[in-house]
Amino acid sequence: MREVILQAGAAAFGTGQHPTTMLALQAMFALKEGGGEFRRILDMGCGSGILSLVAKRLWPQAGVLAVDSEAAALEAAQANAEENGVEGIRFLRSEGFAHREVAEGAPYDLVLCNIFAEPILRMAAPMSQAAVGILVLSGILPWLEEQVTDAYGQAGFIHRRTLAQEQWRCLVMEKSGAA
């Protein structure tokens, strides 16, 4: 896979160097190495777009929807996609699942979410309605890991794996009955 280059001064979260981003990328590479194939990918809270860009490179046949609530983040993500020659990603401004196009794009068989635990917790119910496969939830501090795992367990997801680096956690979860 060709390296993805992001400008160091990007006006959005996610240059690929932060532990939460690195953990999400590790989870994605493990999914690919394990034979995971995905058709519909959602990057919720896409920031600089790095997870979307890598997802499109790993699964070029997949439709990728990159969502962020910040206009500056979407502009940076689009610029990064252009700079890296990655096409086929749809960028959309939305506060979580609020925009109708996010719901219309469902069901997603891979959801990438590299944000803080609090918004991840608020999205458990809508995530359950939109996702039918794997979730990669990164940006979780250790003392919130059990709370996130429990909330998503109640929403119909099974905890498959936890990746850890420094004080950060990334949870890989799967919709019950998806395997």
- Of the two residues 16 and 25, the one the predictor is more confident about is 25
In this structure, is residue 134 part of a structural domain? Answer: yes
For 72-92, write each residue's pLDDT tens digit.
999 999 999 999 999 999 999
**pLDDT more than 70, % of the chain:** 90
Q: What is the CATH number of the domain that holds 59?
A: 3.40.50.150
Q: Which domain holds residue 56?
A: 19-175
Number of structural domains (the chain) is 1
In this structure, is residue 144 part of a structural domain? Answer: yes
Which one-letter amino acid corresponds to residue 152? Y
In this structure, is residue 96 part of a structural domain? Answer: yes
In this structure, is residue 83 part of a structural domain? Answer: yes
B/e letters for 124-159, b = 16+ CB within 10 Å, e = fewer, are bebbbebbbbbbbbbbbeeebbeebbebbeebbbeb
Across residues 107-115, what is the average pLDDT? 97
In this structure, is residue 5 part of a structural domain? Answer: no
- The pTM of this model reads 0.91
Instruction: Give the 3-state secondary structure of residue 66.
Output: strand
In this structure, is residue 14 part of a structural domain? Answer: no
For 129-168, write each residue's pLDDT tens digit.
999 999 999 999 999 999 999 999 999 999 999 999 999 9
In this structure, is residue 57 part of a structural domain? Answer: yes
pLDDT band at residue 17 under the 50/70/90 scheme: confident
What does the block give as tokens for 39? 């058709």
pLDDT over threshold 80, residue 15: no
In this structure, is residue 7 part of a structural domain? Answer: no
